[in-house]
Chains A and B, each alone.
Chain A
Amino acid sequence: MEVNLVVNGRKYTLTVDPKDSLLSILREKLNLTGTKNGCNQGHCGACTVVLNGKAVKSCLIRPKKLEGGNVITIEGISPQSPDDKLHPIQEAFIKATAVQCGFCTPGYIMELYALYERNPNASEQEIKSALGEHLCRCTGYKPIFDAALLAQELLKSK
């Protein structure tokens, strides 16, 4: 089947298998390898991207949900030119030492990106429950939670 979608501001028309996932389309067809495959079954959150303004687990999204969709991946919020800075959420993850192996990191950042775009004043509870969709085996979560709070602060003071 064919699907039209926008990924990180670029338009694509792609021929895909209806059983493919958005994750495999991003990684295998578009070579956007920043989005990670940790389980391919919706349990870990490493594959999280933003679809039409919402954080989704891309491994669970089939092409029929993608027609006309707008997808943002970690590559889309990273510097696009030599003069660009990191996104404040990325800054916060660095400052709070929330990165160890880094495999879960893009997923967390996209989750928070969607959350703060929608609700810059998300409460600690809301933040925690968004982060609760993800698994991290390295950090013990504390640094990630700190990074999320710091990111909110940085975004507000922008």
Chain B
Amino acid sequence: MSYNVVGRSIIRADAKEKVTGAAIYIDDLRFPRTLYLKVLRAGVPHAQIKSIDTTEAESIEGVYKIISRNTKRVEKTLLYGTCIFDQPPIAFDKIRHAGEVVAAVIAESEKKALEAVKKIKVELVELPFVLDPIEATSSKAPLIHKRNGEYKHLSTFIPIPKSNIFYKYHLKKGDHENVFQEAAVIVEDEFEYPLMNHAAIEPHGAVAHWDHTGELHIWSSSQAPFVVREVLADMFKLSMNKIQVNVPFLGGGFGGKSDYTIEPLLALCARYVPGYYLKFRLTRKEVFIGTVLGRGLKGRMKIGAKQDGIFVGLEAQLYFSDGAYADTSCNVVLAAGHNCAGPYYFPNCSLQSFGVYTNTPPVGAMRGYGHPEGQFMIERLIEQLALKLEINSREIRMKNFLKPGDTNSLGQKITTDNGDIRECFEKMIKVLEVDPLPEKDDRYIYGRGIAALVKSPVQAANASSNVFLKFNEDLTVNISTGGTEMGQGCLTVLAQIAAESLKVSVEKIRINYEINSQLTPYEWQTVASMTTMRVGNAIIAACDKAITQFKNNAALVFNCDFDDLVYDGRTVSYKDESIPLENLVLGYQYEDGHTVGDPVLAIGSSVVRDVTLPNLETGQYQPYEWTFGAQGCDISIEKATGRIRVLHFVTALDIGKVINPETVIGQITGGVLMGIGAAVKEKILFDEYGIMKTTNLKRYQIPTIFDMPDKFTCILVENIQPNGPFGARPMAEHPIIGVPPAILNAFQYATGISLTKLPVTPEKVLECLKERS
């Protein structure tokens, strides 16, 4: 199939605005009558509130209002959520993490608001706290939510009352009670993927405004404007057509701006100053302590195999430290539970995944969504199995990869439409092996490691994307979507999809990035790497309808059968006659002025089909499509400093038809670096009092340019996904998944030491090297 614009690396639609500093992000918006919000955070991880005194703070000039549990209409019942409704916008009786908001000050400036925050007096009765998810499941652990089990929740997420476990997921496949019956060998280990921060370079911000008709208008750095709308509508019992959620450009998201973060609190506060625009922008520290974190896994895994390396069973227990509120982590727990089997066939599985309340900030989506955690475990453990069986780990992987006809852990049948894991794996290895691994020298030892990966989008079973398409009189096109541009390049890729579908040049297409929930059609949310696929399909549907409308108009003029008409992007023709689209776009006008037909305006939808909810007994369900991939690397380990450097990193992903190669490669290089951060640098740390220590970008170290591999290779395998737009598959989160296991596998290759806890910092490496000698 040959295309005009699909498959080409055209220039990003938003590039000029961004290189000139003209692109508007949340903090760049300016409003009339603006007030500012600053908050007092608890400062202790677990406590009962005794009293809050705001009298002195209120007397400061320039302070408009202070909101706390003492404020009229702040009620215990204001709990919000989408899966488990357990979170208050502001602390009512209890503090469950140190960043929890106790009081919020509205003032004429941030300085005044801060001055007032310092004058608020709070009396707390501190309680014992717990940060570790396994400790938190013990009967001796402090109970963080007395009402666990009583909160309103979706039926999928089953809590264990009187414990800190808000969700237990158990996936059973085959003989789940005797998983290892046929195993000749069993390997097992314990693993840790720490709490992390998304560290988008743009901090979160939002502006809220209640007008005098009772409408709520909000601007937010959100990946999920329609989730924000849903939550606010429920919280304030407001009809959805009276809520306007606007989203400007996002300075990165990575899941940290998905679902909701600061919007419920801000909307609550703004209600006390109707007519004003209330602005709330987080400091970098507040991004760490006052939004959501990611990951936070501790777990055990066991693989059983036959002597020839064929897998017979998999058992795992995953415990997620999900922080003070459960809502945003429920589906991560689910995804990690079934995806920890990786891209392999296991006849028998018993996989348990626990969402556990702890006294940290709430945990939510983070690039990869449960997949990096579970697949870190299995990709590490396969190396141990290989050693035990004395079979090359590559061979073991090749023998066990899912193939068409196999059922994955969920009982879902794999087909050729899912792409080809073997092809990815073999191509990756071939490229990796072109350069021989250097021999060890005085300064360095070297290692080579590989990993395979699989990911499915974890999305609501009724998730949908919808677009409005408007043909203008000059044949340019505007398309409105609720998909947010957060850097991934959706404006560009979606324009390519539209241009190809309409057979027009891409310059004619403008994807409207200005999201306004009152004007923009419903979009579930921009997560799960689904924008190219789901919004892309909605755009194709809209384009098809627009073409039909052009033809309908022409059919009236030619007085012919619809099926005899041909649309080519410039004209609609019937036999050897044709009418230019210009003359059809508003309907057709005859010379005497009278008209037939209608203007071309189309809608398009793409609704997820055939995704089911997890069976409460077996945990099995039908998820969406899958993307397979494989990653590998060469690393050097500096003996004196313990520093791990990546020399060459290879990623092969079967992403179906590539719409824009450079955009894909950008996602891969970015994802790999984020993975390197997880492997060797990033971890949220707490002190002995349960207070987070890593609250800035110096202490919480994300990769810098000095962590960039010397060489990147990206292999784009293009086995078509029939459901995808032009055959494309989701791919944006995926490049992060295999990075930590590949690096730690390389470390094992180099040193013989098997590490299972992330990150492997230079100190850790030095410790290992010392022990070894």
Contact = CB atoms under 8 A, between A and B. Distances in A.
B201 A94 contact: no
B16 A94 contact: yes
A79 B20 CA distance: 8
A30 interface: no
Contacts of B668: 140
Contact of A139 (B30, B666, B696): B666
A102 B669 contact: no
A9 to B, nearest CB: 16
B21 A37 contact: no
Interface in A3-54: 17, 27, 31-41, 43-44, 46
A40 to B, nearest CB: 7
Given A39-B696, A137-B252, A145 B21 contact: no
A142 B14 CA distance: 20
| Interface residues of A, dominant DSSP | loop
B486 interface: yes
Contacts of A66: none
Nearest to A103: B251
A33 to B, nearest CB: 4
A119 to B, nearest CB: 18
Interface in B698-712: 698, 702-708, 712
Contacts of A78: 19-22
A33 B27 CA distance: 8
Contacts of B27: 27, 33, 37
Contacts of A114: none
B201 A46 contact: yes
Which 3 residue pairs of A and B lie closest in terms of their CB atoms, listed nearest first?
A34-B21, A101-B487, A103-B251
B488 A100 contact: yes
A137 B254 contact: yes
Interface residues of B, number: 59
A131 interface: yes
A149 interface: no
A115 interface: no
Interface residues of A, number: 51
Contact of A102 (B111, B487, B670, B674): B487
| Interface residues of B, dominant DSSP | loop
A102 B14 contact: yes
A102 B705 contact: no
A121 interface: no
Most chain B CB neighbours (cut-off 10 Å) among A40, A97, A145: A97
Interface in B1-56: 9, 11-12, 14-25, 27-28, 30
Contacts of A140: 666, 668-674, 708, 712
B284 interface: yes
Given A86-B16, A94-B16, A131-B705, A137 B200 contact: yes
Interface of B: 9, 11-12, 14-25, 27-28, 30, 111, 198-203, 249-254, 283-284, 486-489, 662-663, 665-666, 668-674, 696-698, 702-708, 712
Interface string A70-108: 000111001100000010001001110101111111100
A40 B202 contact: no
A90 B23 CA distance: 14
A78 to B, nearest CB: 4
B552 to A, nearest CB: 40
Contacts of A41: 284, 696-698
A64 interface: no
Contacts of A120: none
Contact of B21 (A44, A95, A106, A137): A106
B215 to A, nearest CB: 27
A68 interface: no
B256 to A, nearest CB: 10
B487 A138 contact: yes
B202 A38 contact: yes
A133 to B, nearest CB: 9
Given A43-B697, A97-B662, A140-B671, A90 B20 contact: yes
Contacts of B22: 34, 78
Contacts of A106: 19, 21
Given A100-B487, A106-B21, A140-B673, A38 B666 contact: no
Given A97-B662, A137-B674, A140-B673, A103 B252 contact: yes
